[in-house]
């Protein structure tokens, strides 16, 4: 099946997906809550990935990230759903959380009972928030969390914004503060509903965090790891030297990205067999 036609993206999305090679043997089907990714031979199981895309909540789509998550779904050997997420500033918090939970509940209603929440950048923080909220809404807990360069601190407090300012090619403290302000729309940046670093993380599933050593969001992953461990959560965090924010977007073109995808797949596969 050919990839679906892509709608006109926001300007910041233009050619974003060109970074990633087209994964072979993956079909794409548009559904109510997003884009379904079906690696050949994976239909009929009860495990799936729910993928929440990055873009600072202001951009990104199921189309900008379909190839990245196609590579991951193929490596894990299960289907995936990339959730539609509304954008800020038109739709601030909790719109994106509601979108993620609607997609999660839909997968549960279809009989998927071994779900992995996956997210990159803003989607990484959203995945953590959604895992907490699923419990509050009496939805089954996910089996694991896979987090790529997660943006979790709406207070934008990490020292790596200064330490890595000259190495990070994408994000600066002032830019991320603006993104956070659009997302929060006047809420306290320490609100535990939007900032996992100030939330009770008790009962979260095992999480695997990947982050580039040269990115300004490096400290966010460190702080999330500590916060999660403080609440008894199993955490693995891999720091990739000389890598940028969400370098996994180069899957199929860069060996570092392919290695990262393999690490995710090798780690999560046994957790879907339990």
d(CA 116, CA 17): 23
Active site residue 245: yes
- For the question of residue 220 being annotated catalytic, the response is no
Q: Which of 53, 215, 220, 225 is catalytic?
A: 215
String of DSSP letters for the chain: -PPPPPPPPPGGGTTGGGGSPPPTTEEEEEETTEEEEEETT-TT-SEEEEEE--STTTS--TTTTHHHHHHHHHHHTS-EEEEP-PPTTTS-TTHHHHHHHHHHHHHHHTT--EEEEEEETHHHHHHHHHHHHHHHTTPPPPSEEEEES----TT---THHHHTTTT-SS--HHHHHHHHHHHHTTS-TT-TTT-GGGS--TTPPPEEEEEETTSTTHHHHHHHHHHHHHTT--EEEEEETT--TTGGGGTTT-HHHHHHHHHHHHHHHHHH--
> How far from 109 is each of 102, 104, 113, 145, 227, CA to CA, in Å?
10, 9, 9, 20, 32
> Using CA atoms, how far apart are residues 49 and 115, in angstroms rounded to an integer?
6
Marked catalytic residue, from 61, 121, 160, 221? 121
The answer to whether 109 is a known catalytic residue is no
Instruction: Pick the catalytic residue from 53, 65, 84, 245.
Output: 245
For the annotated catalytic residues, the residue numbers are: 121, 215, 245
């Amino acid at each position: 099946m050919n990839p679906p036609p892509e709608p006109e993206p926001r300007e910041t999305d233009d050619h974003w997906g060109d970074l990633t090679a087209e994964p072979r043997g993956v079909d794409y089907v548009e559904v109510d809550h997003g884009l379904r990714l079906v690696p050949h031979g994976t239909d009929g199981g009860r495990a799936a990935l729910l993928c929440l895309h990055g873009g600072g909540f202001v951009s990104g789509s199921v189309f900008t990230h379909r190839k990245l998550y196609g590579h991951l779904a193929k490596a894990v050997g299960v289907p995936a759903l990339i959730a539609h997420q509304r954008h800020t500033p038109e739709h601030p918090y909790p719109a994106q959380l509601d979108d993620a939970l609607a997609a999660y509940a839909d997968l549960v209603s279809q009989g998927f009972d071994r779900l992995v929440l996956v997210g990159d950048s803003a989607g990484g923080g959203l995945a953590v928030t959604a895992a907490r909220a699923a419990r509050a809404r009496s939805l089954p807990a996910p089996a694991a969390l896979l987090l790529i360069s997660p943006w979790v601190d709406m207070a934008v407090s990490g020292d790596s914004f200064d330490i890595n300012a000259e190495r990070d090619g994408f994000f600066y403290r002032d830019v991320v503060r603006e993104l956070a302000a659009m997302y929060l729309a006047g809420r306290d940046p320490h609100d535990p509903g939007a900032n996992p670093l100030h939330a009770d993380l008790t009962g979260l599933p095992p999480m695997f965090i990947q982050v580039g050593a040269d990115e300004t969001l490096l400290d966010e992953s460190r702080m999330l790891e500590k916060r999660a461990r403080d609440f008894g959560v199993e955490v693995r965090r891999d720091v990739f030297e000389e890598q940028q924010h969400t370098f996994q977007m180069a899957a199929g073109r860069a060996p570092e990205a392919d290695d990262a995808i393999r690490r995710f797949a090798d780690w999560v596969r046994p957790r879907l067999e339990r």
